[in-house]
Structure formats: C-alpha cells, structure tokens
Amino acid sequence: MRERLRVAMVGIGFMGAAHSQGWRVAPRFFDLSAPPTMDVLVGRDPDRTAAAAEKWGWRESAADWREVIARDDVDVVDIVTPGDTHAEIAIAALEAGKHVLCEKPLANSTAEAEEMARAAEAAAARGIRSMVGFTYRRLPATAFARQLIADGRIGEVRQVRASYLQDWLVDPGSPMTWRLQKDRAGSGALGDIGAHAIDMAEYLTGLRLSRVSGLLETFVRQRPIAGSSSGAISGGSSVGSAEMGEVTVDDAALFHGRFTSGALGTFEATRMATGRKNGLRVEVSGSKGAVAFDLEHMNRIEFYDGTVPAAEQGFTSIIVTEPEHPWVSAWWPAGHMLGYEHGFANQARDFVEAIAGDEDPSPSFADGLHVQRVLDAVEQSSHADGAWVGIADASE
C-alpha cells in the first residue's frame, strides 16, 4: 500500500476553504504516489474551527498549532493564515521535520522571508520540502503559456504588461479587515495581489526583476470596524456611528521595472479598479510573437505567432483544455472548463509528488523571498518618490 501524507492545515478563512478543496479533491482525480489525508484543521476559535473541519472534511480540529506540529502523526503543514504568522509557523514546522506549503506572499517583510528561506534550505538538506502557494502557476493555461515562451515560440522576451485588478474596496463603507492592516498583512494590494502579478510575470518568462520604480496610494484612509455600527453600512457610504479603523496599507500600487535580461515590465495592482473583480492579466511581447493570459477567462490564452504569413497573422484564442495540456488529462474531456479551485488541487498534487519523489518543489521559499524583495523595493521606491531601487538577488 502507498504511504500516506498526513496533512495539518493552519487557518480557516477563504484560503482555508480553497486549500481544503485542493487536498480533498487531488487524491480523487490524480493517481498520487503518496495520497494526502486531511487530518487536522487548526484555528484559534475552537467552535468555528470544529464547524469548518466538519464542513470541509478534516478528521479533527485543534486550537494550538504548536501542539499540532509537535505530533508524530503529521507529515505536512499547510499555512493559510494572515502573513504576520507565516514565518513563525513555517520555521517551527520545518524545524519539527514537517513539509510546509505556505500561502503567498511568503512573509510580511524581507527579513522574515530571509529567515524562512534559510530554514527551508536547512530542512531540504534533511529531505524536508517547502513550497509557496502561488496557485496561479498551477492553471493549465499559465503553465502552457510558460511552455510556449520557454520553447522560443515568441522569440526574445522584450516587454511584460501585468495587472491584477479587483474592486472590493471601492466602497468607503466596506469594513476594515486584517488585509488593510500593515502589521497583519505586510502591505495592501501590493503584497496581496501584486505578488501574484510579479510571480506570474517571472514564472511565464523565466526572468527576474532586477530593479523597480513604484508608486503606492491609499485612497480611503479610514474604514468602519465591522459590527461596531449602530446603523448599517450600505450603498457606498457608512451610516450610523460606526467606529472607524485606520487603513495602514496601500489600496493601489503601480510600478515598472527592468528584468535581468534587459526586458521591461509594467505592473499595476489595485483593489480600487471599479468593475474589475479578479482580473489578473499578463501579456508578454517577444521578438517573434506574444502570449496573453487573463484570469477572468482562465481556460484560454491568446497566442500571436509572428512567423506565419502576414495575411494570416492575428491573436489566436486557444482553449487550454486538451488532454496534452498540463494537468488536464486528470480532469474532464476537452472543452469542459476548469475553475479557480482546480489550481489548488493541481498544487496539492504537485506538492505531494515532489515530497514523494524527493524533489524540491517550485516555487521555493527562495522564490518567495525574491518576490518579497521586489515588494519591499516597490515600497521603498514609493517612499523615495519613485526612485529606482535594485533587487539584491538579481543583477542585470
């Protein structure tokens, strides 16, 4: 019988639901070398955690992550908490000999991410694996786009345009959450969704950003604290006597940069893009062609092949659901679309296969550290009026 990987997951928010779906479904669709079992769900509130465990399919629930990582019957720790606890939990889990999957962004600061990358390297020497949850790498469309670029189908990469647009903060009456507090989230749109744009640009092209110039803005500086109001919060404004909390992160981030190869990139991450719900769009222009991906049309890519006769040129929309596309053969027949949740199942599959195959999975904590350095450089640049800031681990 194949060995099982016993998983404990820390965190019970939105990402907890998404990762649970990944762990639950992966062994039912993929033929895994070491099928995961959903053993312990960890959260601070015992009642809510027990209810989430029951709903999402975890065998048991617990309140103290330290007790859980000390257990011999746990092999993998999945961290889906806010960023302020990533470093502490991940380092402790790696030192306890657990394989660790950690949500993005890896940490709240470069200093924390450096410690995590060091712990991951030391653990890897003992056969303990770690990976960052940049889940959009696990979509057939993005993986196929990367393949086309790596195969030279667009020639030399010259420019990348990456934007991640959401609008859930447009309403000044939307309540405070941990995502708006620097001490909990590290940064705002920049780290939450800008980190995906950075990772996707680098994943697709295989290049690294070497310097950036950026601008951050917070448009709404105070927001009502949920549940504190005597009146309701509705339709674009807060009413009643809601207690207000300070927003200490950016609502929007703009930056541009140069990659190590000399290629140029423009980036935008905002939660104020009215009408845009979850729009991660990345377009890569090369010397022979171009590739574009849009998360709101996540089963497709656009491919422009500049080598075909001029009369036939134009962007082609490819539906990335053929069995030969990455991961697809485990799912549905061609043309039967995949969704947001499949990325989490593909990610669970890849992580357990790396563990079982004794290989370092990607993206590594070192990759997460690099993204963290870019985030910090954008912030520094914004404080210095857009001055160029170099990224320590990538030289031109």
Q: Which residues pair with 60 in a beta bridge?
A: 40
Q: Which is nearer to ligand SOE, 10 or 123 (CB)?
A: 10
Q: Which is nearer to ligand SOE, 141 or 394 (CB)?
A: 141
Find the shortest distance in angstroms from Cβ 268 to ligand SOE.
Answer: 15
Cα–Cα distance measured from residue 149 to residue 286, given in angstroms and rounded to the nearest whole number: 9
Find the shortest distance in angstroms from Cβ 340 to ligand SOE.
Answer: 8
Q: Which is nearer to ligand SOE, 178 or 287 (CB)?
A: 178
Q: Which is nearer to ligand SOE, 108 or 166 (CB)?
A: 166
79, two tokens: 């961290």
Q: Which is nearer to ligand SOE, 137 or 258 (CB)?
A: 137
The closest alpha carbon to 122, from 103, 97, 105, 101, belongs to: 97
Find the shortest distance in angstroms from Cβ 178 to ligand SOE.
Answer: 11
Locate the DSSP E strands across the chain. 5-10, 36-42, 60-62, 76-79, 99-103, 130-133, 157-165, 209-217, 222-224, 233-234, 237-238, 244-246, 252-259, 264-270, 279-286, 289-294, 300-305, 316-319, 389-390
Q: Choose which of 78, 192, 268, 350 interacts with ligand SOE (CB under 6 A).
A: 192
Q: Which residue is nearest to ligand SOE (CB)?
A: 192
Find the shortest distance in angstroms from Cβ 14 to ligand SOE.
Answer: 6
Using CB under 6 A as the binding rule, the residues of this chain from 241 to 280 that contact ligand SOE are 278
> What own/partner pairs with CB < 8 Å and gap ≥ 24 does 228-233 have?
233/173, 233/174, 233/175
Q: Does 75 sit near ligand SOE (CB under 6 A)?
A: no
Find the shortest distance in angstroms from Cβ 149 to ligand SOE.
Answer: 22
Torsion of CA 93, 99, 103, 108, to 10 degrees: 40
Find the shortest distance in angstroms from Cβ 210 to ligand SOE.
Answer: 25
Cα–Cα distance measured from residue 121 to residue 364, given in angstroms and rounded to the nearest whole number: 9
Q: Which is nearer to ligand SOE, 157 or 200 (CB)?
A: 200
Find the shortest distance in angstroms from Cβ 193 to ligand SOE.
Answer: 6
Residue in the structure block whose two tokens are 């694996």:
129
Rounded to 10 deg, the angle between the 14-29 and 46-56 helix axes is: 30
Query: Per-residue x/- mask for ligand SOE, residues 6 to 45, rule CB under 6 A?
Result: --------x-------------------------------
Find the shortest distance in angstroms from Cβ 122 to ligand SOE.
Answer: 28
Q: Which is nearer to ligand SOE, 188 or 224 (CB)?
A: 188
Q: Which is nearer to ligand SOE, 132 or 148 (CB)?
A: 132
The closest alpha carbon to 194, from 256, 268, 293, 250, belongs to: 268
Tell me the C-alpha to C-alpha distance, in Å, between residue 169 and each of 194, 219, 232, 277, 328. 15, 10, 17, 11, 35
Question: How many residues sit in the footprint of ligand SOE (CB under 6 A)?
Answer: 5
Query: Per-residue x/- mask for ligand SOE, residues 152 to 181, rule CB under 6 A?
Result: --------------x---------------
Cα first-last separation, the chain: 50
323, two tokens: 């069995």
By the criterion CB under 6 A, which residues form the site for ligand SOE? 14, 166, 192-193, 278
